[in-house]
Every structure is written in C-alpha cells, then in structure tokens.
Amino acid sequence: MTIAFLRTPQADSANAYNKLEFEAASHGARAVAYVSAGEKGTFRGLPLVTPSDLASLGIDLLVAAMPLSAEDLQPLTAAGWPMSQVMSHATEKERCRAAWSQNGGEWMATRHPGVNGTELIPKVEYAKVGGPAVGPVAPIVDAVGRLSITTRAFDAFHLARVDAPSSGPYAIGRNWGNFLRATRPQFYAAVEAGDVAAIDNLLSDCLRNEMTTGTFGTPVPYEAYNSWVSAGAGTVAGVRQQFNIWRYCVANADVSRLAAPPVGDPFGVWVGEGIVHPNTFLNDCRAQFVSELLAPIDRPLVLDLGGGFGGFGHQLLSNGSNAVYVGFDLPENLIVATYFLMAAHPEKRVLLYEGRDQVLDAKTLRDYDIVMMPNFMLPRVPDRTVDLFTNFISLSEMDYASIAEYLRQVDRVSNGFFYHENLLDNGENYEFYPVSVFPALAQFKTLWSAPSRWPFFSPSSPHHCHGEVLAARRDLDVARYFGAASRAPKTAIRYATAY
C-alpha cells in the first residue's frame, strides 16, 4: 500500500512522526509524501504536498500521527479527498496495521537515515513484495550443460563413496546416517543402479525434493513450503520477519543479493525482481560478515564444513569478494552442493575429489574458485592453510568422536578464525551435543558468542537454540588479518526473474 502522512501543528509539537514512519515501514506500507494544509517543500526527507496534490500521487491512504480533528479534516474535504481514505494511527492503530499488511504487505523497507550537520534526515528504501513464488523456474543451464555437471559431480561422489571410511570419526554419524537412508530413497536407488539420468533429474529440482532433506527443509522442502503457502499472508510475513533482522545485520541491505539463482527449482517470495527464500537471509548475513572479516586478505581461503546444499557458498561466491570456497561434507550432501554451485557459477573454476592422495595445499586451492571435498580429506589440508573455518548448524548433529576430531582439525588448519553456529540448547527437539560440551580449542580464543539472531534458532524457539561464535587464533598474524582492505569488492552477481 502507498501512503502519505498528514502533517499537523499538534504532531509537530509532539514529535510524533518517527513512531508512525517506523510502524508503516515495518508493516509493508510505502510512504511517498507528507501532506500539510498550506506549506509545500520537503519534510523529513519526503516531498511536502498540499491536499489538492494527493490525487495525482497514487496514494491509497492518508495517515495521521495524532487524533484527527475537524480542523485537520476540513482542508482534505475541501480538496475532495474521501474520508474513507484517512486514518489516525493514534486512535486506529490496529486498523492502520491491518490495512498496511493486507496480503502480507506490499513493500519491504530499509531505513537508513543520513545526517545533515547534526540533523538526522530520515530516509527509507523500498523493495516490492509480489507474494509467494511457487511456479516452476526455468534453469539457467541447458539440459546438456546440466548433465555434464551432474556427471562430474556423480563421478566424484562415486570415488568418494568407495574411499569413505566405514568406522572412525570420518564415518557418517548415527544421526545423519539414519536420516539420509530414511529420507532419500530415490537417490540411493539411482546410485545403486548407476543411473546418472535419474540423478540428473533429482538434482535439477533439488530444492523441492528429497535431495535437500535436512539441509533446506524437512521432511521434503516443497511439502514444508506448501503448508507455509496455505498460511497465505503468513508466508510473506515470515519472509518479512527474516528481512527485518537481516537489514540490521548487513552494511548494505540490497535485496537483489538475495535472489535465488535459477538452479534446483527455487521457490520463496517475490522481492524486487527475484525469488527470495527465508533461508537465504541467514546465508547472506554469514557471507557478508565473512567478506568483511577477511577484507584485508587477497583471495582468502574459506573452509566450510557441512555446507548443506551450498547456500552459504553461493552467497559468498556471488557477493563480489574473491574468496575461494572450500567445502567439506558427507558425499551425499556434497554432490548436491557441487551441482548447485557449479550450475549457479558456470564460469568458476572447480576442483572435485580425485583420490585419497590428492594435494590440497594453499597454492592448489587458490588455483580454483570452488573446491568440493569429501569430509575424510580434511587431514590432507596442511597446517595453518585456510583463513577461516566455518561450520553452520552442523557439528552439534554429529557423533561426539567426529566433533572432537573436527575441532582438532580446526585448531590445526585455520590460520585466522573459526566462525560457527551450533546448539546452545536442544529445545524440545532432540538429543544432540551443545557447544558447552565441545572440547576446547588449544590454539583459539573465543572473541564473542551470542544466541542466534534468527527466530527459528533463537532462545525463544521451542525447536532448538543455536549460538553464533567467533574465535581467533591466539598467535594471529595481526598485519595479515587487520590490515587495510586488499581490494574494492567487485560487483556482485544478480539474478532477476521478471514477474
């Protein structure tokens, strides 16, 4: 909904506008003007118009910050403005909110004021919300290209599966082993049959089928979304809730960065010209933080353990940083992330698993943009090779022996930082290992640790509460990690699908 605010002497003297502007921005209304009985010009960063200008501005509703008096209404009536299109936020707050939020609210607003001298000048940017996006999305890569990506990813998967240990800390854990077998029957059948075409089919809409159970949605992502869509405006409200957190977490809240690449048949909500899924806010926030943390380093190596379908890797690779994304994961999820990242970034250089003796030193890793390795290859990475080790919603879900081994590897391979998000409390959901029982890292000091900012993972969530933890190497090379930015970030990649 497009609205204007009414400027009155009472509201001026009560300083009542900020509250109104905040409410409107939070509930999906776009404010385009202030209206005053006499004056014209600008007011609080918006055009100041008279009642006779209102009709030409495409305004749906005029909102007052204070109770409306006959004196306020008289110039509006004189200009022919219908009284059904005027409301007072002071006396009709719930009606205002309901009107602004109709169909989930049409706009997402980012408030980032400027300062003129010492005066705060409000400024708001809006992105249009077009409702749920659930139709099929044509893939960015043609069928021949997709099959060639699938074949490469499947060959690497096949080799890794043969070489994967069946016991010890690098064997698939009890939790994920049972879960994958129970939720991905078509995938395992295709693997047993060596049926690349069937795997290619599964991967081509991996964001809506069993290939991303537990990494994008459970039980099957699309089923979860369908029930969400039936919540109607609630779908958009869920995305708005994520958006309202994300916009405070990133320096540049540019929604075009959140648009899903046309890979794996994405779904979500139309925002601006792209399809945005609630999950992407987390991954973008992580990727922006990582890019800023590593800005002083040219071509930083980011090792991500348990990267799921590749969402964080994708945000990192498309946000203009020149980091190398090095993913380590169980072969069953690695094949999905490999496909997703290769199809979303066909121009990038990619290294996949070739065998147990493969060299994974810094020079080799930097020859590529994307490196995807099975988990058991982690010991092949030399000491102090990577700049950052990340692990999101993952270590806590593993067997304890695996957690201990991976943390030993963090201590050994990261030269700079360890950033992870893992359980603080299991909530009502399950018996996993919270961060408080993780073995301590000998070489690292925790710089900060806080409960998750995201509602689903926060302390008030009944599901499970995660922490966000940043640790730095005790003997960190300060000149390397805290110097000036090595380069200006390149332009980010944008995906737009007209609607």
Ligand X SMILES: C[S@@+](CC[C@H](N)C(=O)[O-])C[C@H]1O[C@@H](n2cnc3c(N)ncnc32)[C@H](O)[C@@H]1O
CB of 477 to ligand X, least distance (A): 27
Find the angle CA(461)-CA(463)-CA(469) to the nearest 5 degrees: 70
Q: Which is nearer to ligand X, 29 or 305 (CB)?
A: 305
Q: Which is nearer to ligand X, 200 or 304 (CB)?
A: 304
CB of 297 to ligand X, least distance (A): 22
CB of 166 to ligand X, least distance (A): 13
Rounded to whole angstroms, the Cα distance separating 201 from 205 reads 7
CB of 323 to ligand X, least distance (A): 16
CB of 358 to ligand X, least distance (A): 18
CB of 213 to ligand X, least distance (A): 10
Q: Which is nearer to ligand X, 211 or 236 (CB)?
A: 211
Q: Which is nearer to ligand X, 24 or 371 (CB)?
A: 371
CB of 308 to ligand X, least distance (A): 3
Q: Which is nearer to ligand X, 147 or 316 (CB)?
A: 316
Q: Which is nearer to ligand X, 33 or 435 (CB)?
A: 435
Q: Which is nearer to ligand X, 7 or 420 (CB)?
A: 420
Q: Which is nearer to ligand X, 304 or 387 (CB)?
A: 304
**Contact residues for 324 (Cβ-Cβ < 8 A; gap 6+):** 299, 300, 301, 302, 365, 366, 368, 369, 370, 371
Q: Specify whether the CB–CB gap between 112 and 125 falls below 8 A.
A: yes
Nearest partner of 421 among 452, 378, 389, 446, judged by Cα? 452
Q: Which is nearer to ligand X, 17 or 289 (CB)?
A: 289
Rounded to whole angstroms, the Cα distance separating 417 from 387 reads 6
* Residue 127 in tokens: 């992105």
CA 310 to chain centre: 12
CB of 286 to ligand X, least distance (A): 8
Q: Which is nearer to ligand X, 214 or 416 (CB)?
A: 214
- Give me the residues that bind ligand X (CB under 6 A), please: 172-173, 176, 214-215, 305-308, 311, 329-330, 333, 375, 392-394, 397-398, 402
CB of 462 to ligand X, least distance (A): 18
CB of 292 to ligand X, least distance (A): 19
Q: Which is nearer to ligand X, 101 or 422 (CB)?
A: 422
CB of 399 to ligand X, least distance (A): 7
Q: Which is nearer to ligand X, 292 or 399 (CB)?
A: 399
CB of 393 to ligand X, least distance (A): 4
CB of 453 to ligand X, least distance (A): 14
Rounded to whole angstroms, the Cα distance separating 131 from 430 reads 34
Q: Which is nearer to ligand X, 35 or 377 (CB)?
A: 377
What b/e sequence results for 392-414 when a residue is b if at least 16 CB atoms lie within 10 Å of its CB, and e otherwise?
A: bbbbbbbbeebbebbbbbbbbbb
Rounded to whole angstroms, the Cα distance separating 247 from 365 reads 33
